[in-house]
Structure 1
């Protein structure tokens, strides 16, 4: 609005400096006198002309600015990140302005959408005339097209002080390029009842924003006993998405049969553009007939892009181990290695008909399933106690704790069956821009 105010102020100065020629008065007066349907008193002609000039200048000079502000989504600044605010300021997106009202008076208005290569963003308002919009149990939603249904992925909203409305921005899967019409399907769940509604709208392909960078990477990164595949990156005006894979379906099936399954927890990948980290926005993992796949989401890339890199930092995973270690009460600081991770068994002792095993690992290593075989009998872990953290000179944090097994005997064997750990990678991948 400051820009519009500046333009109006400049135009006012130009209007104030306008000098009307003396002969124009007599010409206008004669033209008005000759018309039988218009009568204007001679003394009032200057204000009329001045007003007409102002309206002409406002519309003529600022038509684009007025149309531009008409395209903006109003009231969504608090639920938009910086990238979406910039796109909104530029008038990007497609206005919709359609509503559906449920029987209880609750109204949902789809104000507009933004579509690009990565997602469809729905901007909608939920209004409750009773001022109890914060008490809504749940509104289910999806985008349904002719080809298929597009599920919601993430969203955020903000309620006003009067509790009469919530402004929402919700992300959906990108619709197919062949979709012409979508239905914003809504389901209101109220106690034991539910009500369905829909808002139908056409997609304007001229409003779609496409992508700014789309590259196949196809690189395999290995470290220790783990590896990940970096497949592709797609950057669009609203966000950037990295796609990768942990295992294909053959590798997944093989590990299942051998009892060496892995369950990935997190792939830490930093996106660097023009030498600066790009803000992460989340991600996820899935297991299906294509194997174990992951994606990482980031903010949009800068407009003046000169370089893009990926820093593959680490991979956190929970893996089947099935490693057995003979231990006894005389043991002291015995070091073993499991999947490249060091485990130091500090001591074994008995107390109150129970056996205790104290061990130390790096902070990120967790024995997620471990049993003690006492004289051939499997004894499950009861609890882990006396946890202690110590930071080494190189910055590594070591974690010491004691496992409690409710059984004593003459022969002990520690069976480590599952273990979670973080494998460091720290590999840089340069992404070509062309």
Structure 2
């Protein structure tokens, strides 16, 4: 449980009005617009919604106004301690299960990156949690007006007497226009089926949703076969999200997404992972999640692309005359020609390389008897232990030729390349 606790510190609402708004929004076609026109349209729509919603106006306005960079250990404190610091909305809504167990939602903290739900599970008098209790209870979506948020992760701890479980669940962001949110807990029954227990509570966005900083980046870094574009950064009390997209020569995701680090005032912010995505035009994108920013006195914010997909062209033929276990340096990488062996159908060439180095097999052949002979089959990769703490990976490449091959002809290979390219993000904090 302590590991999961550390991982979270990291480690993915009135009915008639809702129906009328949904019907009004559904017919609106998606159109491509310039950034300025899109901004105007979003602002006009937000203003219209605020006027239409009426009683939703103040909470949503409070959510979207202001900036906050305070660092708090959201998962290391119980909700009452957070509330004392002015964070979140107190809920205190309970549901008693059929067996007498009581589930209580203590409070929520939300922003544009996520919603954190703080809850407790109290066993009936005379009962305690057991080793298998973690399988008994589950949580599904958080739902409400314009909200259908999946749980991303959860952590928690048992009390010393093992009668109470105190936990935090992290959900996808919810709409600030939701007035009521409903989350469904479930309990595993003796018959193997789950009983569902929905809990609804009033959602007050101006209390639950602390403000965040949003900053467009609009900068890019060139890599061997394309470009990594950084689009935006959003910092909040729950996490820091960097969004971007790729423009590769083949229009696909790069073979290696890259290692991107975030630095604030020269200090690295802990990273929790990357998710791939794509926009409506099918452009491959990514979303990086980092920890909460470590200070409210921001002087510099930098993104560093340490490693990413690289491609090394091979300009010269590689000799196969005297194979050995010595490395052949090509650019920043190395290859090993381990053996050339005659078979009943031709010759086998065993080539070793690092784990994340991949040969361009479509353009691979051998020069034999004055002819270029393409590869006919390739074995699965297998480890080659160098007995010095390093393990390489080798494969057997078969060629249908009766002439002994003299050279390996290779167009190039893919590998993880070190770039260390830095961009600075101008951040205007008021």
Q: TM-score range by the shorter chain?
A: 0.5 to 0.7
From 289, 299, 303, give the equivalent of 1:297: 289
Contact 1:131 1:164 in 2 (8 A): yes
TM-score by length of 2: 0.64
Q: Partner of 1:388 in structure 2?
A: 386
Q: Partner of 1:188 in structure 2?
A: 187
Q: Which runs of 5+ in 1 are unaligned?
A: 1-76, 392-397
Q: Partner of 1:425 in structure 2?
A: 420
Are 1:155 and 2:130 counterparts?
A: no
Are 1:344 and 2:342 counterparts?
A: no
Query: Would you say how many aligned residue pairs link Structure 1 and Structure 2?
Result: 339
Q: Partner of 2:207 in structure 1?
A: 207
From 79, 92, 98, give the equivalent of 1:97: 92
Relative to structure 1, the CA distance from residue 325 to residue 108 in structure 2 (aligned partners, 3 Å threshold; closer, same or farther) is farther
Q: Partner of 1:131 in structure 2?
A: 128
Separation (CA, whole Å) in 1 of partners of 2:106 and 2:310 = 44
Q: Deviations over 1:109-128 (max 9, x none)?
A: 11111122322110011233
Q: Partner of 1:311 in structure 2?
A: 303
Contact 1:370 1:381 in 2 (8 A): no
Pick the structure with more helix per residue. 1
Relative to structure 1, the CA distance from residue 78 to residue 310 in structure 2 (aligned partners, 3 Å threshold; closer, same or farther) is closer
Separation (CA, whole Å) in 2 of partners of 1:334 and 1:125 = 59
Separation (CA, whole Å) in 1 of partners of 2:79 and 2:165 = 18
Q: Partner of 1:54 in structure 2?
A: none
SS of the residue corresponding to residue 169 of structure 1 reads strand
Deviation at 1:181, TM superposition (A): 0.7
Q: Partner of 1:74 in structure 2?
A: none
Are 1:403 and 2:389 counterparts?
A: no
Deviation at 1:292, TM superposition (A): 2.3
From 255, 261, 278, give the equivalent of 2:250: 255
Alignment map for 1:360-399 (pairs within 5 Å): 360=353, 365-367=356-358, 378-388=376-386
Question: Is the deviation greater in 138-147 or in 370-379?
Answer: 370-379
Alignment map for 1:7-406 (pairs within 5 Å): 80-81=75-76, 87-129=82-124, 130-132=127-129, 134-136=131-133, 137=135, 138-190=137-189, 192-247=192-247, 255=250, 261-263=252-254, 265-287=256-278, 289=280, 290-317=282-309, 328-330=320-322, 342-350=333-341, 355-360=348-353, 365-367=356-358, 378-388=376-386, 400-404=392-396
SS of the residue corresponding to residue 207 of structure 1 reads helix
Question: Does 1 or 2 have the higher relative contact order (CA < 8 Å, sep 6+)?
Answer: 2
TM-score by length of 1: 0.63
Separation (CA, whole Å) in 1 of partners of 2:170 and 2:236 = 14
SS of the residue corresponding to residue 255 of structure 1 reads coil
Deviation at 1:82, TM superposition (A): 7.8
Deviation at 1:224, TM superposition (A): 2.1
Deviation at 1:317, TM superposition (A): 4.4
SS of the residue corresponding to residue 259 of structure 2 reads strand
- Which of these two proteins has the greater Rg computed from alpha carbons? 1
SS of the residue corresponding to residue 298 of structure 2 reads coil
Contact 1:213 1:433 in 2 (8 A): no
Question: Is the deviation greater in 99-108 or in 414-423?
Answer: 414-423
Pick the structure with more strand per residue. 1
SS of the residue corresponding to residue 113 of structure 2 reads coil
Relative to structure 1, the CA distance from residue 399 to residue 83 in structure 2 (aligned partners, 3 Å threshold; closer, same or farther) is farther
Relative to structure 1, the CA distance from residue 80 to residue 134 in structure 2 (aligned partners, 3 Å threshold; closer, same or farther) is same
Q: Deviations over 1:34-75 (max 9, x none)?
A: xxxxxxxxxxxxxxxxxxxxxxxxxxxxxxxxxxxxxxxxxx
SS of the residue corresponding to residue 297 of structure 2 reads coil
Separation (CA, whole Å) in 2 of partners of 1:427 and 1:389 = 37
Separation (CA, whole Å) in 2 of partners of 1:86 and 1:219 = 40
Question: Is the deviation greater in 80-89 or in 296-305?
Answer: 80-89
Q: Deviations over 1:67-93 (max 9, x none)?
A: xxxxxxxxxx99824899984541421
Contact 1:386 1:402 in 2 (8 A): yes
Contact 1:212 1:236 in 2 (8 A): yes
Relative to structure 1, the CA distance from residue 219 to residue 298 in structure 2 (aligned partners, 3 Å threshold; closer, same or farther) is same
Deviation at 1:103, TM superposition (A): 2.8
Deviation at 1:145, TM superposition (A): 0.5
Relative to structure 1, the CA distance from residue 263 to residue 194 in structure 2 (aligned partners, 3 Å threshold; closer, same or farther) is farther
Relative to structure 1, the CA distance from residue 84 to residue 194 in structure 2 (aligned partners, 3 Å threshold; closer, same or farther) is closer
Separation (CA, whole Å) in 1 of partners of 2:245 and 2:83 = 34
Separation (CA, whole Å) in 1 of partners of 2:298 and 2:78 = 19
SS of the residue corresponding to residue 206 of structure 1 reads helix
Deviation at 1:148, TM superposition (A): 3.1
